[in-house]
Amino acid sequence: MSSATTSYTLRYFDLIGRGEPTKVLLAAANIEWTDEHPDWPAAKDEQPFGTLPVLVEKRSDGEPDLVLGESATIERYLARKSGLLPADPAAAAVQEQLRDHFWDVLAAFFVQAFCPESVKADRKAVFEALLDRHIKYQTELLQKNGNNGHLFGDSFSYADAVSYGIFKILLIGAVKFQADISDYVKSKLTPEIVKNLTTSEAHPPLAGYVAKSATVAAVVQA
């Protein structure tokens, strides 16, 4: 890829959803980007895999230098590029597995939100069990790290970014699809996770992003 890359475009819907962790990572890396909301589904076949989000990295002449689909790939590319993932493969994998399990929680939420009524109770139970397991695991990580507001070490990391982004989806964005989900998730949060979310939101590079969007701190502290 060219070293003359100067700009980024994030293609996603105009809502708080799967593109949110990518926005957090872009902001954390002090990368300016342009949000693009494709006409959907007309633009579906123009995307690498027919899905969003898509990140486009452009050269100084405006031509695409790199086009990435798949949320996890986009996130990890940005996290590695900006130093938010450890160079050590094992340490990086621990952060990546936290993200991947949380993505399973998010997927289970949307399954139960849109499934037929005949199976809704079962699907809801699966989501709630996954969320409980994730809350327990993430809380234990925060306690092990000294409850300093970060999941690993003493600075903002990939894990902090995706935790903030996915909790933002469940606490704010998902209300569009299920009115009571924010109150339910909020009732499950531990003090350690609340501190992690508010610490992440106060991370100075996120100031511009937070100012333009709904704040998680306002929800969890209400």
pTM: 0.95
Integer Cα distance of 122 and 66 in angstroms: 42
Per-residue pLDDT for 58 more than 60?
yes
Residue ranges of domains in the chain? 5-81, 89-220
Q: Is 185 exposed, middle or buried (0-12, 13-18, 19+ CB in 10 A)?
A: buried
Exposure pattern of 135-159 as b/e (b: 16+ CB <10 Å)? Answer: beebbebbeebeeebbbbeeebbbb
What was the pLDDT predicted at 7? 93
Contact residues for 55 (Cβ-Cβ < 8 A; gap 6+): 8, 9, 10, 11, 22, 66, 67, 68, 74, 77, 78
Per-residue pLDDT for 3 more than 50?
no
What does the pLDDT look like over 118-156, one tens digit per residue? 999 999 999 999 999 999 999 999 999 999 999 999 999
1: pLDDT confidence band, cut at 50, 70 and 90?
Answer: very low
What was the pLDDT predicted at 145? 98
What does the pLDDT look like over 174-211, one tens digit per residue? 999 999 999 999 999 999 999 999 999 999 999 999 99
What was the pLDDT predicted at 2? 44
What was the pLDDT predicted at 164? 98
CATH architecture of structural domain 89-220: Up-down Bundle (1.20)
CATH class of domain segment(s) 5-81: alpha beta
What was the pLDDT predicted at 5? 56
What does the pLDDT look like over 10-50, one tens digit per residue? 999 999 999 999 999 999 999 999 999 999 999 999 999 99
Integer Cα distance of 42 and 217 in angstroms: 36
User: 136: which 2 tokens?
Assistant: 């327990």
